[in-house]
């Protein structure tokens, strides 16, 4: 992706979230009980993602331990972090 394409994609898709989100994850309010029942979860990874490595997505999906709940992982080969903006996206 060229710099111009990257800038256009950022302008079109970036959201301006609170600066507190990451710090809140470190506090008690950000704690997730991974043993509790939960709605179905789908973790999506990309083989060439340099921002959130695919192995981190695998680890996150595997962390959910409730046997009665679903946590699945799907990985897109030869794709990067901006999967939905890829011209090959279907």
DSSP character string of 42-66:
EEEEETT-SSS-HHHHHHHHHH---
Q: Mapping DSSP to helix (H, G, I), strand (E, B) and coil, where does residue 21 land?
A: helix
pLDDT band at 57 (very low <50, low <70, confident <90, very high): very high
pTM over 0.75: no
Across 1-90, the runs of DSSP E, i.e. the strands, are 41-46, 71-76
pLDDT band at 38 (very low <50, low <70, confident <90, very high): very high
User: If you average pLDDT over residues 14-30, what whole number do you get?
Assistant: 75
Question: Which DSSP symbol is given to 2?
Answer: -
């Amino acid at each position: 992706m060229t710099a111009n394409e990257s800038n256009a994609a950022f302008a079109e898709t970036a959201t301006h979230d609170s600066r507190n989100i990451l710090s809140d994850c470190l506090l008690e309010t950000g704690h997730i009980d991974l043993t509790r029942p939960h709605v179905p979860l789908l973790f999506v990874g990309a083989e060439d993602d340099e921002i959130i490595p695919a192995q981190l997505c695998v680890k996150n999906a595997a962390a959910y331990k409730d046997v009665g709940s679903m946590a699945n992982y799907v990985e897109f080969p030869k794709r990067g972090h901006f999967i939905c903006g890829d011209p090959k996206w279907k």
